[in-house]
Amino acid sequence: MEDIVPPSGPMQGTKICVIGAGFVGIVTAAGFARFGHQVVCVDKDQKRLSLLRSGRLPFFEQDLENLVKNGVSSGRLVFESDPAKGVEGKKAVFLTVGTPSSNGGRADLSALHEIISVLSKNMKAGQILVIKSTVPVGTANTIKKFFSQNGNRVDIDVINNPEFLREGGAVHDFFNPHRIVIGGSSQVAIEEISRIYKMGMAKTVPVFTTNNETAEMIKYASNVFLAVKVGFINELARLCDSVGINVLEVARVIGADPRIGKEFLNPGPGWGGSCLPKDLQEFIGLADSLGVSLFIPKAVSQANLYQFEHVFSKVKNLVGDLKGTKIGVLGLTFKANTSDLRESPAMPILMKLLETGAEITAYDPAADSIVDSLLSGVVRVDDPYKTAEDADCILILTEWADFQLLDWGRIRDHMKNKNIVDARNILAPELLKRYGFNYDSVGQN
Ligand code: NAD
């Protein structure tokens, strides 16, 4: 990536603070710096900040390290631990702290409340607070009220600007979004935030402006709909397996109808990740709290748990009694091109295999090292071929492209029994069968 000279003339860069140096925060901060804005990114994790200052990342995300290096070396991206310093003199403050599920399933807003309490003492009238974190409907208005009654007691403009990036393709998505949503009640603030994006975004990117609640709902509605779509294709795959139809052919043709669309019609081991599961639970919780009967989200959540079981059954069907057997696992992250393990389908599936007494050897090219504490009992190896040694079955759980390039003859020769469950449908069934494998996938039989 070559450096971009900040534009001069009428479009001047804006002074921005991004709070939270996680997946969304780093991409946003480095992306805005690349547009030519002056960005301070704040996090309370000192270790994370030291890494970032040296241009390194606390996790793997394609193309992001270069973007951060570029921002740091241009002087337009700096990292800071003190939020008071971070927000000082900034026009817009973007919040990207985590909003995970609480025990009851609703969004846990403790990180958001903690930082809001600090910011209420440090932000001044005229500054704009932008909520990029995914927050329950009504949060922006609660925050606006909090600011007017606490700290500096300022009447602050609060904007919702939900994030739609996909991990594994986050940098691409930042520069090529399908849409930008800016929700708020102040036209001046909406235009200011819109200007920050327009400084670096193609003119063709649609910008939707709404009120705060609508923007908050748009984010949840998007993720719930995606979960429904994947849930549907996974169920269709189970049906296709039973009647001997290839689900991929069905998906290709139904997806050609623009009312359906071809994206998110890839059957697999179930959906996971840091967003879909928790956002679905918050959506269900909101409806329940209002006494609104919603059937689809609950069914989709249940169907996803069933899908994990279904993949486990596929291994069992090929191997038989699993006690004492060796299962080689390829892929642990919830999707390819990320190190993120949050709510990865690999977790429940491997837990179930361990419970039945199977021995697991796993390889993932990027999984965060936290995996060792999450999956004690799983032997991790640094070479995919080692998962095949004496194995009774290979189970593919993440769609890393590298797995397609493996020498399957070599893998076969190391295995005790030639079984493969390709839970991502990334291999060519006929090729694997020619190698002599008992090959199973999701909906291709
Ligand atoms: P994350 O957990 O990766 O990052 C959150 C960061 O905030 C951490 O680095 C944490 O140290 C920091 N933080 C927490 N409290 C802080 C405080 N008081 N002061 C400073 N820093 C603080 O989270 P994420 O995956 O980037 O997600 C952030 C938000 O964006 C969530 O609401 C999520 O739902 C939403 N979102 C995430 C994605 C995604 O793909 N990860 C996509 C769209 C939307």
Q: Which domains does the chain have, with CATH numbers?
A: 2-210 (3.40.50.720), 276-441 (3.40.50.720)
Q: Residues 379, 350: contact at Cβ < 8 Å?
A: no
User: Which of 17, 19, 24, 271 maximizes ligand 1 atoms within 8 Å of its Cβ, making it the mutation to test the pocket?
Assistant: 24
C-beta neighbour count of 15 within 10 angstroms = 16
Cα of 181 to ligand 1 centre, how many Å? 18
Residues 6+ apart with CB under 8 A from 298: 284
- Mutate which of 109, 163, 338 for ligand 1 pocket (most atoms within 8 A of beta carbon): 163
The pLDDT score that the predictor gives to residue 202 is: 86
Burial 402-416, CB ≥16 within 10 A → b, else e: ebeeeebeebbeebe
Residue with tokens 């807003």: 109
CA of 431 to the centre of ligand 1 (A): 42
Tokens of 229: 């779509």
pLDDT at 291: 98
pLDDT of residue 5: 47
pLDDT confidence of residue 216: 98
Verify whether ligand 1 is closer than 6 Å to residue 82 (CB atom). no
Catalytic residue among 17, 41, 240, 275: 275
CA–CA separation, 46 vs 49, rounded Å? 5
Q: Using an 8 Å Cβ cutoff, are 331 and 398 in contact?
A: yes
**99 Cβ inside 6 Å of ligand 1:** yes
Nearest CA to ligand 1 atom 3: 22
pLDDT at 190: 98
**DSSP3 helix / strand / coil % (the chain, rounded to 5):** 45, 15, 40
CA–centroid distance, residue 180 to ligand 1 (Å): 19
How many distinct helices (H) and strands (E) make up the chain?
16, 14
Of residues 162, 103, 111, 151, the one with CA closest to residue 127: 151
CB of 227 closer than 6 angstroms to any ligand 1 atom: no
DSSP string for 270-287 = ---SSSHHHHHHHHHHHH
- For residue 161 and ligand 1, the question of a CB distance below 6 A is answered with no
**Dihedral sign from CA coordinates of 247, 252, 257, 261:** positive
Model pLDDT for residues 8-40, shown as the tens digit of each residue:
544 579 999 999 999 999 999 999 999 999 999
3-state secondary structure of 77: strand
Residue spans of the chain under pLDDT 70? 1-11
